[in-house]
Chain A
């Protein structure tokens, strides 16, 4: 079965520091119907984010969704604080890569198949 990648459904897919010890993932869907499909079929969860980032769910401090703006948010503990020796991304603004591998089964998006 064909799969749809998360980044194809979003107009914002980004990361940024949330304080010096965390970075946060902002996932904003372009079409509220895609967002609704993801919510209804529980396609995006704390576990899926943890797996994508090769980490445990304990390191995901927040996992949230917000219907009004068709958005998800997840916040991850940093291994090294922003700008401390050893840190590779001071602003935490280039950590979105692992989200590019997240994909969903096409059949969850009925409105797309019917369109």
Chain B
């Protein structure tokens, strides 16, 4: 097998922007077979999936897409982008496809575009959920038709198969909905005959781009589009990784560190259609900047399962942020907030469902129950997060909280003109719809491509 070279220019399309100079140099010097990157994650929480919004700045997404198309299309290097627009739902894919058309027109580029959607039809899924047991992940109960109905958006996570189908159809640019990051990066190599275990493991390490590299010389990376490409070459029984910049290197530890990243286990991980077994993986330095990995295996499972992600709207959010500097109030803050919560809920309980969460910065806000330090700051930032049935109700409750806390008559109070430093006017910020993740389940499928229709367009 002729070695196959994959370049991942950034850890996420739209995240800080690809460094243009480094990227062009890598294309010219390395002449990769494919450029592949993911554009999203569930890491940012369920809101983006539910609301259909991108989680990277549009300016940065446009910068990255423009650079990829302008440099790769004329060089005949295929471009594969997965989890388009952030969460890979139809709204996110469409946002990306619209940008692609705009850029192609502006730059006078023509290519064969494959668009792969990943949103799951709710009535189909509800029917499946009522007819069979669809198991949840990490302790979630089996899926019910009511769960399906409660979600505003549901996506399936594709593996390599729909991407290979698009490559078979002659796609030069692929915009895919929700996809496993390692499938996006490994799909081209698998399509060309590389070992699936090695290709997916390579994808796992490359998916965050330069995060899997270390600085060997100080590199000023604070300014401008600063993501540096990573280069993966896969051959018979191995893959190797190196940096797309002379100041960076891939070492066994930097590669392995990223192999651990965002995984529950370093021995194995669940994938679309199987398990990636990294327990026998060996990381070796081949030269000062290159690391070689061997020994990873992909084990297929039967039936093939697809991970589903579904976001459910739980209400509307309003937030008020209050600084507290009075030592007397800081001493009593926990009981004050509990009493305040009770009185606010008593006042509004007949208006609808209300949830109030206080995040007290300066007193265990980050670690909560895992905190080991007894230190309390000399000033506290009280963030009152209100989620209620309607935006109007959430707003009123948050308004009531800042007023009540500002004039709370706590023991020893001297600040009779008001207790808090209220941040911002308006004093309450409306956060709009709020979501939680209701579906995180595994759906068995007969055909790995069934949920992911491939559409070919001539741009």
Contacts and interface: CB of A to CB of B under 8 A. Distances in A.
A54 interface: yes
B42 A20 contact: yes
A85 B434 CA distance: 8
Interface string A1-33: 000000000011000111111101010100000
Nearest to B260: A26
Contacts of A22: 138, 264
A79 B317 CA distance: 21
B338 to A, nearest CB: 15
A64 B266 contact: yes
Given A68-B283, A84-B437, A98-B367, A54 B372 contact: yes
Interface of B: 42-47, 137-140, 252-253, 256-257, 260-267, 281-283, 314-315, 317, 355, 357, 359, 365-373, 385, 387, 434-437, 440
Interface residues of A, number: 44
A88 B368 contact: yes
A24 to B, nearest CB: 6
A66 B434 CA distance: 40
Contacts of B46: 20, 81-84
A97 B371 contact: yes
Given A12-B257, A26-B257, A83-B44, A19 B137 contact: yes
Nearest to B370: A53
A21 B141 CA distance: 13
B367 A97 contact: yes
A78 to B, nearest CB: 9
Given A19-B137, A83-B46, 8 more contacts: A19-B138, A20-B437, A24-B263, A64-B265, A75-B264, A83-B44, A84-B436, A86-B355
A107 B259 CA distance: 32
A20 B370 CA distance: 18
Contacts of A20: 42, 45-46, 138, 437, 440
Given A85-B385, A85-B434, A88-B366, A66 B266 contact: yes
A18 B266 CA distance: 11
6 closest residue pairs by CB, A with B: A83-B45, A69-B256, A21-B138, A84-B436, A75-B264, A18-B264
B263 A18 contact: yes
Contacts of A97: 366-367, 370-373
Given A68-B282, A75-B265, A86-B357, A91 B44 contact: yes
A51 B18 CA distance: 42
Nearest to A101: B372
Contacts of B367: 95, 97-98
Contacts of A71: 256-257, 260, 266
Interface in A78-115: 79, 81-91, 94-95, 97-98, 101
Contact of B440 (A19, A91, A98): A19
